[in-house]
Structure 1
Amino acid sequence: MSLPMMIFAAGKGTRMAPLTDAVPKPLIPVGGQTLLDRALALGRQAGVGRVALNIHHLGHQIRDHVAGRDIAVSDESDLLLETGGGLRKALPLLGPGPVVTMNPDVIWTGPNPIRALLDGWREDMDALLMLVPLDRTHGRQGGGDFSLGSTGRLIRKGDLVYGGAQIIRPDRLAEIPEPAFSLNRLWDLMIAEGRACGLIHPGAWCDVGRPDCIPLAEALLDA
């Protein structure tokens, strides 16, 4: 199965300052490769279809970085739309049906998380999130996000961290009136109906949201 992929590349990268004063966070190198190129490589290796990304902070640098590649760009220079609003604006670039979404500011070790999501997707799901046990995360500040019921359905609160990769049906984005909003709004609708599920990633994971996380991520890659 092949699905389109949306990469969220429009954030301001506030936690990554001062590095993001001059470079957008997706273009920060980790282990000799930008975070954005690592995310794109995971999608390509998993066999995703068309790819889109959104831009805002220093977006011209990201646009120039992907120029000449078959990657559509959704420009949010005028208004940062967050993950939900950003995905909704990019839908014409992605086409109908479920979409893979990915945050580029993380490092994964172990099996390709996108391939695992594609293999685990079922038609009775509205969302399938890749989760990491809190004790296998690096650079994480705060607790977990979710737990899983006996059938793999998502439950709010627990020791599982959303890793920043998922498959989601975008149909219900139209129900949310605000232009800028988080995909958490959509997840809550799906969780209430028992149609949001999760997979547990067997490898390690690092949040690369702050400068001090970069050496942690590079150590994981070198292990």
Structure 2
Amino acid sequence: MSDTPDAVMLFAAGFGTRMGALTANRPKPLITVAGKALLDHALDLAEGAKASRVVVNAHYRADQIASHLAGRPVAISRESPDILDTGGGLRAALGLLQSSVIHTLNTDAVWRGPNPLTLLSAAWRPDAMDALLLCLPPAQAIGHAGKGDFALAEDGALTRGGGLIYSGAQIIKASALDGMPEGAFSLNSVWDRLLPKGRLHGCIYPGKWCDVGHPGGISLAEDMLDAPDV
């Protein structure tokens, strides 16, 4: 298989508990921002990156996700009976992705700027990396109140505990999941195995990004999209 990412995994299985009543009867990826479902914002990015295959995982209200995607060239990886978290969900979808190098993208964010997936592809160096994470300085991360996640070295290697925020977009080799436990696990635990080897790298997104994992993020994202160019 190619060392170039040609498949995209969109994470859409979560319960969306931070959204409160907004996700009582629908999954978070179907919440609308600027008249478009969050899932469709993510699908536009996958289409813009010319992905050969797109897979969406689903668990909470999976039938609504399936109905929304009906007729589109998108495969659905249903997680049942249990939700598998990001790492387990990605591993369960590998047969549908059919790729050794994969883009993954969270669906609870909106972007303003260059396509994050094509930006990652341009920075990808498979000889030096097993995963490449797209990060942002806090000033460019709208609606995100948490601490930073990573620091970036001059050679692009990441370490834990710095001020950069992980955006939810990455490239990762399928082989990075080898040896992980069965069932549910987070991609964070995969990254922790790559860190001491120097195989976890990052790059900086030059635009803006808005976290829509909480109700206030909807209006913040719409304001970001409507703001005039500077």
Query: Which residue does 1:184 correspond to in 2?
Result: 188
Q: Contact conserved, 2:130 with 2:200, CA < 8 A, in 1?
A: yes
In the TM superposition, structure 1's runs of 4+ consecutive aligned residues that sit over 2 Å from their partners are none
Q: CA deviation at 1:141?
A: 2.1
In terms of mean alpha carbon deviation, does 173-182 or 15-24 score higher?
173-182
Displacement of 1:71: 0.8
Following TM superposition, by how much is the alpha carbon of 1:177 offset from its aligned partner in structure 2, in angstroms?
A: 1.5
Structure 2 runs not aligned, ≥5 long: none
Deviation per CA, 1:127-168: give whole Å up to 9, x if none: 111101012211112110001011010111111000010000
Aligned length: 223
Q: Conserved in 2, the CA contact under 8 Å of 1:57 and 1:77? A: no
What are the Cα deviations for residues 52-82 of structure 1, in whole angstroms up to 9, with x where unaligned? 0110111100001111111111111311000
Superposition RMSD in Å: 1.0
TM-score of the pair, normalised by structure 1: 0.97
Q: Secondary structure at the match of 1:100?
A: strand
Report what 2:214 is aligned to. Answer: 210
1:8 alignment partner, one of 6, 11, 18: 11
User: Which of 62, 68, 71 pairs up with 1:68?
Assistant: 71
1:148 pairs with one of 148, 152, 160: 152
Structure 1 Cα separation of the partners of residues 74 and 49 of structure 2: 16
Q: Indicate conservation of the 8 Å contact 1:146/1:161, yes or no.
A: yes
TM-score for both structures, normalised by structure 2: 0.94
2: distance between equivalents of 1:84 and 1:36? Answer: 19
Contact 1:131–1:198 (CA<8 Å) still a contact in 2? yes
Match of 2:28 in 1: 25
Per-residue deviation, 1:35: 0.4
Task: Pick the aligned partner of 2:82 from 71, 79, 83.
Answer: 79
Distance in 2 (alpha carbons) for counterparts of 1:81 and 1:164: 17
Q: Which residue is equivalent to 2:165? A: 161
3-state DSSP of counterpart to 1:18:
helix
Partner of 2:204: 200
Deviation of the 1:172 alpha carbon: 3.1
Deviation at 1:2, TM superposition (A): 5.2
In 2, Cα distance between the equivalents of 1:48 and 1:29? 24
Match of 1:101 among 101, 104, 107: 104
Residue 56 (structure 1) aligns with: 59
